[in-house]
């Protein structure tokens, strides 16, 4: 009912990617997980690259919806950046899997071009958001440093099994940003 078939497929695909990378996704496994056949998955996403692109795209849409406008009036830079760090902590939360784009960003080289382009667009947008969000305040960290420290913290937090590492990164980032 609730979720469309397309969304069901994307849900399973996203979870698989976050657990084991792009190659961990298989049409058969996705189909089995939601109770259809692999040919039906191909109907919605003819090629695997279509599926990958869609997963990344939806992930981005959701993230930026959660972040809100980076230049929303009334929100100070520190508060905006806090929304960003919070989003990363939320991404880690439920299963202890790494954020989608941390995983895919780590191995863009080996992905189908449509997917790596989509990842690239995601980071274009994320860095742009962060840059705008910092405007009007003072930061000792560049947008790139903020984002990369979140990526690294997430990866190490997952590997070590220590969510605290991501919280530490958040603290360091917020300490570097003043309104």
* Interface residue list for DNA (CB under 7 A): 5, 25-29, 31, 35-40, 42-44, 46-49
* Of residues 6 and 162, the one with the C-beta less far from its own copies: 162
* Least separation in angstroms between CB 119 and DNA: 18
Binding status of residue 15 toward its own copies by CB under 8 A: no
The interface partner of residue 5, options being its own copies, DNA, none and the CB cut-off 5 to 8 Å by kind, is: DNA
Q: Which does 155 bind (CB under 5 to 8 A by kind): its own copies, DNA, none?
A: its own copies
Report how many helices (DSSP H) and strands (DSSP E) the chain contains, helices first. 9, 2
Cα–Cα distance, 122 to 126 (Å, whole number): 6
Could you say which DSSP state residue 109 is in?
Answer: G
Number of shown-chain residues binding its own copies (CB under 8 A): 43
Distance CA 142, CA 127 (A): 10
Question: How many angstroms separate the CA atoms of 40 and 4, rounded?
Answer: 14
How many residues does the structure list for the chain?
179
Q: Residue from 38, 40, 57, 108 that binds its own copies (CB under 8 A)?
A: 108
Q: How far apart are CA 36 and CA 29, in angstroms?
A: 10
* Closer to DNA by Cβ: residue 31 or 165: 31
Q: How many Cβ atoms are within 10 Å of 63's Cβ, its own excluded?
A: 21
Q: Which residues bind its own copies (CB under 8 A)?
A: 18-24, 97-98, 102-103, 105-111, 119-120, 123, 141-142, 144-145, 147-153, 155-160, 162, 165, 168-169, 172
């Amino acid at each position: 009912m609730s979720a469309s078939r397309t969304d069901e497929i994307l849900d399973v695909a996203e979870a698989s990617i976050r657990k084991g990378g792009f190659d961990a996704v298989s049409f058969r496994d996705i189909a089995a997980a939601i109770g259809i056949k692999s040919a039906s998955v191909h109907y919605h996403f003819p090629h695997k690259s279509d599926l990958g692109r869609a997963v990344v795209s939806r992930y981005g849409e959701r993230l930026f919806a959660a972040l809100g406008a980076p230049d929303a009036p009334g929100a100070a830079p520190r508060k905006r950046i806090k929304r960003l760090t919070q989003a990363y902590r939320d991404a880690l939360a439920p299963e202890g899997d790494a954020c989608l784009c941390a995983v895919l960003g780590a191995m863009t080289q080996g992905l189908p071009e449509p997917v790596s382009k989509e990842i690239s667009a995601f980071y274009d947008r994320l860095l742009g958001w962060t840059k705008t969000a910092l405007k009007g305040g003072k930061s000792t960290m560049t947008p790139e440093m903020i984002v990369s420290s979140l990526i690294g913290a997430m990866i190490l937090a997952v590997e070590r099994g220590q969510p605290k590492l991501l919280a530490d990164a958040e603290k360091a980032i917020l300490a570097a940003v003043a309104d």
